[in-house]
Amino acid sequence: MEKELEEKQEKQQHKNIFMKLTKKDRRLRIKNRIRKVVFGTSKVPRLTVYRSNKEIYASIVNDETSETICSTSSLTKSFKNKGNKVKQSEEVGKNIAKLALSKGINECCFDRNGYLYHGRVKSLAESARKEGLKF
C-alpha cells in the first residue's frame, strides 16, 4: 500500500516537471496555433507585431513570396521620447498604416504573434485601424 502511494506521488512529480511551460514556450504554442490560420497573400498581406520589453515592431508581410513589404518600429528617432510604451505603439500603428496605404495596401490580416490582445498590441492595432487600414 505504501509502495503504491510512493509510486503515485513519483508519477505525479514526473508529470508536473514536463507539464510546466515557460512564458516563451506558451507564447510560441499560441503563435503556431494562430499561424495555422493567418496567412498573408499579395492581396491581403499579414500585419505582424513583435513586442520586446523596450520596443515594439510591426511589419507587413506577403507569405506567398516570403517578402516584407514594409516595416517600422519604435526604434525610429521620431518615436523616441514620445511618452510611455503604449503611446509609442500607437505611433508605430499610425506609421505602419501610412506606409501600407502608400504602397497600395488597404486591407491586411492581423497577426498578434502569440501576444495577448491588450496593452501595446491593442493600441497598435487600433491606431492602424483609425488611420484607414482594414483588418
State the pLDDT at residue 22. 87
| All cell numbers assigned to 118 | 491588450
Q: What is the Cα–Cα distance from 33 to 4, expressed in whole angstroms?
A: 39
- Residue 2 located in a structural domain: no
State the pLDDT at residue 100. 96
Q: What is the Cα–Cα distance from 101 to 95, expressed in whole angstroms?
A: 10
Whether pTM > 0.85 for this model: the answer is no
Radius of gyration of the chain (CA): 20
- Residue 12 located in a structural domain: no
User: Are 46 and 111 spatial neighbours (Cβ–Cβ below 8 Å)?
Assistant: yes
Q: Over 60: is that where the pLDDT of 14 sits?
A: no
pLDDT digits (tens, 9 = 90+) for 56-87: 999 999 999 999 999 999 998 776 667 899 99
- Residue 31 located in a structural domain: no
Which among 134, 43, 64, 66 is positioned nearest to 97, based on CA atoms? 134
Domains contained in the chain, number: 1
Q: How many CA atoms lie within 13 A of 122 on its CB side?
A: 4
CATH of the domain at 68: 3.30.420.100
